[in-house]
């Protein structure tokens, strides 16, 4: 997609910009996706940041606070929300109603609408994560990575996680024959994957080796593990990054193969 953008004439770039702007306008008119990806994690951050006991270092979490532990989970929650919160249903609706078919008769192919949807979700994720990290650091004393390397690993972890979640969302959109089924797939994927990111119970609190093993190989668990280590200035190791990259590749290839335009 980036190579596509480079080749575009100024006029076609303008068309893509307008397409993105239009999709943002439409998303603001029906802001469920924005509430889930921005509002909910923001509220959770403020709530947990305001409870003194969550801010104290705890031996149970290896000498760090619950809050420090929870921020990576919130970031992964954002990436999960932009990938499968509303994207599959939106795309399935566009397909069923014939929005994609309508575009297929213009010089701009319907794949651009997909690209625009991905773009606005990346923008939403970047905005939400910036707010969470910024507010966490400024208001609640969140410790940020202390080295350039730490930041780079954090960024890499975020990029690989969103590649995996967006890929999963595209797969769900490709497989769902109707918007209703897309909605059901979203819910079926969202809650287990959110659980395995430690949203309800911190991953460190899960004293089941089977569940920990599963968490290590699903995108959300691997994302949290990678982010957790990089926020603490440690190396996350290759394993979670490889897991994320693997999912990103598998989901993208599957979506490209399975997606139907009408």
Contacts with another protein by CB under 8 A lie at 11, 14-15, 18-19, 22, 25-26, 29-30, 94, 97-99, 101-102, 104-108, 262
Name the residue nearer to another protein (CB basis): 86 or 157: 86
Q: Give the DSSP H/E element, type plus range, for residue 65.
A: strand 64-65
Give the residue with the Cβ less far from another protein, 11 or 207.
11
Residue 132 to residue 120: CA distance in whole angstroms:
18
Instruction: Tell me how far, at minimum, the Cβ of 103 lies from another protein, in Å.
Output: 8
- In the complex with another protein, which residue's Cβ is closer, 105 or 208? 105
Determine the Cα angle at 31 with ends 29 and 32, to 5°. Answer: 140
Please state, in angstroms and rounded to a whole number, the distance separating the CA atoms of residues 192 and 168. Answer: 14
Distance CA 126, CA 25 (A): 18
Q: Is the CB of residue 82 less than 8 Å from the CB of residue 121?
A: yes
Q: Based on CB atoms, which residue is closest to another protein, 35 or 55? A: 35
Q: What is the 3-state secondary structure (H, E, C) of 232-250?
A: CCCCCCHHHHHHHHHHHHH
Between residues 64 and 103, which has the closer beta carbon with respect to another protein? 103
């Amino acid at each position: 997609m980036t190579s596509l953008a480079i080749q575009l004439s100024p006029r076609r770039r303008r068309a893509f910009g307008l397409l993105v702007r239009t999709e943002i306008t439409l998303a603001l008119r029906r802001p469920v996706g924005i509430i889930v990806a921005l509002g909910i994690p923001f509220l959770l951050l403020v709530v947990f940041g305001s409870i003194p006991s969550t801010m104290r270092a705890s031996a149970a979490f290896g000498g760090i606070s619950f809050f420090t532990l929870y921020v990576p989970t919130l970031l992964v929650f954002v990436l999960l929300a932009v990938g499968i919160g509303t994207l599959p249903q939106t795309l399935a609706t566009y397909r069923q109603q014939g929005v994609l078919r309508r575009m297929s008769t213009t010089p701009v192919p319907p794949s651009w609408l997909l690209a625009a949807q991905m773009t606005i979700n990346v923008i939403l994720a970047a905005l939400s994560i910036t707010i969470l990290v910024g507010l966490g650091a400024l208001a609640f004393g969140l410790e940020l990575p202390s080295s350039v390397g730490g930041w780079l690993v954090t960024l890499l972890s975020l990029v690989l996680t969103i590649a995996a979640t967006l890929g999963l969302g595209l797969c769900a959109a490709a497989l769902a024959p109707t918007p209703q089924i897309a909605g059901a797939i979203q819910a079926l994927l969202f809650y287990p994957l959110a659980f395995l990111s430690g949203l309800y119970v911190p991953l460190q609190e899960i004293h089941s080796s089977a569940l920990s093993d599963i968490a290590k190989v699903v995108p959300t668990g691997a994302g949290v593990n990678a982010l957790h280590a990089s926020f603490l200035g440690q190396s996350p190791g290759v394993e979670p990054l490889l897991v994320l990259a693997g999912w990103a590749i598998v989901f993208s290839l599957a979506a490209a193969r399975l997606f139907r335009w009408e």
